[in-house]
Chains A and B, each alone.
Chain A
Amino acid sequence: MGRPMSDRSRKWIRILFAGPGAVIIAIVVMAGMALWLPRGAAGIDNLVLPLILVPLIWAALFFHACLDQRLARVAGVALVLLVVHGGLVAHKFLDRKPASVEPHP
């Protein structure tokens, strides 16, 4: 068992997740959502909904970081969202063929 974290450290970690963390994760989630959301009847839902929802995603992350008493859960939720959506975007880029051999329409 490691030494328990001081209140000061916990406070700064919380600030990190509520501040820059919430901004970065909201942006990554917006990018990743475009790749897994259903396209909908018009084929645009996956493109439009992330743009609309990003302020709410940021607010949810911000208030979760402020209000959840369990810091581990704050970090867990945020990091899972970051890894899943960041991974989706990275996979999309790695999966793309080099530009020189990409067929032109």
Chain B
Amino acid sequence: MIHLPKHETKLMVAVHGWSGILLGLLLYAVVTTGMAAVFAEEIGTWSAGHVSYQSAFERPFADDLRRLSAQTPAKYHEGADLFEMGDHDMGVFFHRHETEPDGELVSRGVYYQLGKDGQVTDRQFGTGEEIFGPRNDTALSSFLVDTHVRLHVPNPWGLLLTGILGLSMLVAAISGLLIHRHLFKDVFTLRRKANPVLFNRDRHSVAGTWSLPFAFILAFTGSFFSFFGTIGVPIVAMAAFGGDVQALNEAVFGTPGKPDPRPVAIGNLDRVATDSIRRAGDVPTFMTIENFGRADAKVTTFHAPTNGGLAPVSLLYDGAKASFIATKPLIGPKPSAGGTLAAIMSPLHFGNFAGLLSKAVWFGLGFAMCYVTFTGLKLWLVRRAAQARSLDWLDRTVTIVGLGLPFALVVCAAAFLIALPLGSTVYWTPTAFLIASTTVIAGGFLWPTSAGFSRLLQLATAGLMIALPPLRLLTGGPGWATALAAGQPIIPALDVAFLLAGGWMIWRVRDSRPHRDSDTLPSLQAAE
């Protein structure tokens, strides 16, 4: 239990409130899209109707890769990245590291996408960032992830912005802990018969207290990811390597060894893939080859955490001989405290260390965080409603963002499903979001009451959620029987989730109707 003196407690309450009110709405947007992005892969499968189940790494690809390497200029053989794209197709990116005139380090090269028959279905030249933008079958999940990672603000500013939001969440979490005089009591205190302000304060407090450790972890890991490349790496490289970012990357991520540039054909990568699946117990999520076609070629395969572990697994192979060398830490050539800590940042942030179960827990705790942020903003407003009538605009803004964002995201999903067969999802997914957002903003300020508008938004969101599964089927998506037969239960599971979520929202709105005419706290009803 933490007992701060009265003055410090008052200060912490102010810090907690202002850290939320100044950046709370943007933070809410980041947390909401992050909550959805926990299931980005599954949403991608559901929305695009992917029904393949065999990984690209389980099919032979070594001969295709040799053929592609012969077509690719040798200067781009410095590295080759292999990963799954689309419906378990294979993506291959031959590249080299270059420094742009503005000092930015980029990977530039040739990207190929191979269909299941090994034929090239797409070929592009450019930097990693140019090539790996949204595509017709990934536009929805890419939109979610981009909103979460950088709020669609160009880099580095977008990452800096979300990093600052992460720090404000860290402040809110720590100050939230410090202002709890009775932490354990608060965890279970829910005065249902108290007045609405107290009841809502209790709900905010209970949800916030339960999710405090999670909020801390998310804020810490999120700000780490945002500041890592934008500020951290250049500054540490400046201090340790005189500004040479490539040298830092080599030291941290590279595979040490004596350079041997003699040309030697790459070994049998099918054998590497099969062996890595046997050793790690799962298909690789990623495979990278350093010095393709040289005697010192090294292959690293990356796998999701297995056997209850938290850190991902990576295996190192001799590229020329296709022989196993060692199990390698994700970061650094040997196990170390720094490497292990850095390796667990990703699973801690994305919640992907124990499959769907951990993702579901992360989703649920993310929902609690959204609830805490939204109700916190509402409580802040209610406490000041008596003194400042001019805060009505802020109350409306909170409703617009708090309930309008989920609505706009569901509109986005509907637009994606309609545009998918037309091949225009890359355009229509963000456009639909903009149209929905503009409509919500206009409606939010023109509607007579904030409470009435919030009910309308919730009903519209619920209706759209219920409409998504039939819309998916109408636009050519696979039926439940087809999906289950193809080993993709996630498609019917997400259909059911949307139907249940829509039904639950309608029930909640109907249930809250008797309280909505309360004269005392009209603006608080939206927080429910």
Measuring CB to CB, which residues of chain A are less than 8 angstroms from any residue of chain B?
A: 27, 30-32, 34-35, 40-52, 54-56, 58-59, 62-63, 66-67, 69, 89, 92, 96
Rounded to whole angstroms, the CA-CA distance of A89 and B236 in the bound complex is 10
Please determine whether B335 and A41 come into contact, CB atoms closer than 8 angstroms: yes
**Of the candidates B4, B239, B332, B337, which one forms a contact with A34 in the assembled complex, judged by CB atoms under 8 Å apart?**
B239
Q: B176 interface residue, CB < 8 Å from A?
A: no
Could you jot down 29 A-B contacts, CB within 8 Å? A30-B236, A31-B236, A31-B239, A32-B239, A34-B240, A40-B336, A43-B332, A43-B336, A44-B331, A44-B339, A47-B252, A47-B338, A48-B332, A48-B338, A49-B337, A50-B232, A51-B224, A51-B228, A51-B342, A52-B341, A52-B345, A54-B224, A54-B232, A55-B167, A59-B174, A67-B8, A69-B8, A89-B239, A92-B239
Complex Cα gap A92–B11 (Å): 40
Contacts A45-B339, A52-B345 known; list 12 others, CB within 8 Å: A31-B238, A34-B236, A41-B334, A42-B334, A42-B335, A43-B332, A44-B251, A48-B331, A49-B338, A63-B175, A67-B4, A89-B239
CB pair A48 B227 closer than 8 Å: no
The complex places the Cα of A48 from the Cα of B339 at a distance, in Å, of: 7
Say how far A48's CB is from chain B's closest CB, in angstroms: 4
A42 to B333 CA separation, bound complex (whole angstroms): 6
Give Cα A27 to B231, complex, Å.
Answer: 8
Chain B interface (Cβ within 8 Å of chain A)? Answer: 4, 8, 11-12, 15, 166-167, 170-171, 174-175, 219-220, 223-224, 227-228, 231-233, 235-236, 238-240, 242, 248, 251-252, 329, 331-339, 341-342, 345
Contact indicator B333/A50 (Cβ below 8 Å): no
Q: Determine the distance from Cα of A44 to Cα of B341 in the docked complex, in whole angstroms.
A: 12
B234 to chain A, nearest CB (A): 10
Asked if residues B251 and A43 are in contact (CB atoms below 8 Å), the reply is yes
Do residues B227 and A44 form an inter-chain contact, with CB atoms below 8 A?
no
The CA of A70 and the CA of B54, in the complex, are separated in Å by 64
B338 touches A44 (CB 8 A): yes
Residues of A within 8 A of B251 (CB): 43-44, 47
- What is the bound-complex CA distance between A35 and B175, given in angstroms? 32
Picked from B12, B171, B338, B345, the residue with its CB within 8 Å of the CB of A45 is B338
B342 cross-chain contacts in A, Cβ below 8 A: 48, 51-52
Residues of A near B339 (CB, < 8 A) are 42, 44-45, 48
Grouping DSSP codes into helix (H, G, I), strand (E, B) and loop, the B interface class, with mixed when no group exceeds half, is helix
* Chain B min CB distance to A16 (Å): 16
Cα–Cα, bound, A36→B199 (Å) = 52
Name B223's closest neighbour in chain A (CB-CB). Answer: A55
For A40, the chain B residues whose CB sits under 8 A away are 336-338
CB-CB < 8 A to B224: which residues of A? 51-52, 54-55
Q: Is the CB of B240 within 8 A of A42?
A: no
When distances are taken between beta carbons in the complex, the residues of chain B under 8 Å from A52 are 224, 338, 341-342, 345
A55-B167, A55-B224 known; A42+B338 contact, CB < 8 A: yes
A67 to B220, CA, bound (A): 21
Residues of chain B within 8 A (CB-CB) of A66 are 8, 11-12, 15
Residues from chain A with Cβ under 8 Å of B231 in the complex: 27
Chain A residues whose CB sits within 8 angstroms of the CB of B336 once the complex forms: 40-45
Chain A's closest residue to B252 (CB) is A44
> Measured between alpha carbons, how far is A56 from B227 in the docked complex, in Å?
12
Output the least CB separation between B76 and chain A (Å): 24
Which of chain B's residues has its CB closest to A99's CB? B242
* A38 to B12 alpha-carbon distance, docked (Å): 36
Contacts of A54 in B (CB 8 A): 224, 227, 232
Taking the closest CB of chain A, its distance from the CB of B226, in whole angstroms, is 9
- CB of B320 to closest CB in A, whole Å: 24
> Nearest chain-A residue to B334 (Cβ)?
A42
Residue of A with least CB distance to B239 = A31
Say yes or no: B235 contacts A27, CB within 8 Å.
Answer: yes
- By Cβ-Cβ distance, the 4 closest A-B pairs, closest first, are A42-B332, A48-B338, A42-B336, A45-B338
CA–CA, A49 and B236, complex, Å: 10
Smallest Cβ distance from B245 to chain A, in angstroms? 12
Contact in complex: A48, B166 (CB < 8 Å) = no
Neighbouring A residues of B332 by C-beta, 8 Å: 42-44, 48
Please, which residue of chain A has its CB at the minimum distance from the CB of B253? A44
Minimum CB–CB distance from B176 to chain A (whole Å) comes to 12
CA distance A51 to B248 in the complex (A): 12
Chain B, Cβ-Cβ closest to A51: B232
Give Cα A103 to B103, complex, Å.
23
Q: Which of A35, A49, A59, A62 makes the CB contact (< 8 A) with B240?
A: A35
The smallest C-beta distance from A50 to any residue of chain B, in angstroms, reads 6
- Chain B residues with Cβ below 8 Å from A51 are 224, 228, 232-233, 236, 342
- Find the residue from A30, A35, A48, A49 having the highest chain B CB count within 10 A: A48
A67 B341 Cβ-Cβ under 8 A: no
Evaluate whether A55 and B252 lie within 8 angstroms (CB atoms) in the complex, with A42-B338, A44-B339, A66-B12 already known: no
Nearest-CB distance from B282 to chain A (Å)? 25
A18 closest partner in B (C-beta): B15
Known: A44-B332, A59-B170, A59-B174. A31 touches B235 (CB 8 A): yes
Residues from chain A with a CB closer than 8 A to the CB of B334 are 41-42
Q: Which of A34, A55, A67, A96 contacts B227 (CB 8 A)?
A: A55
Measured CA separation A31–B251 after assembly (Å) = 16
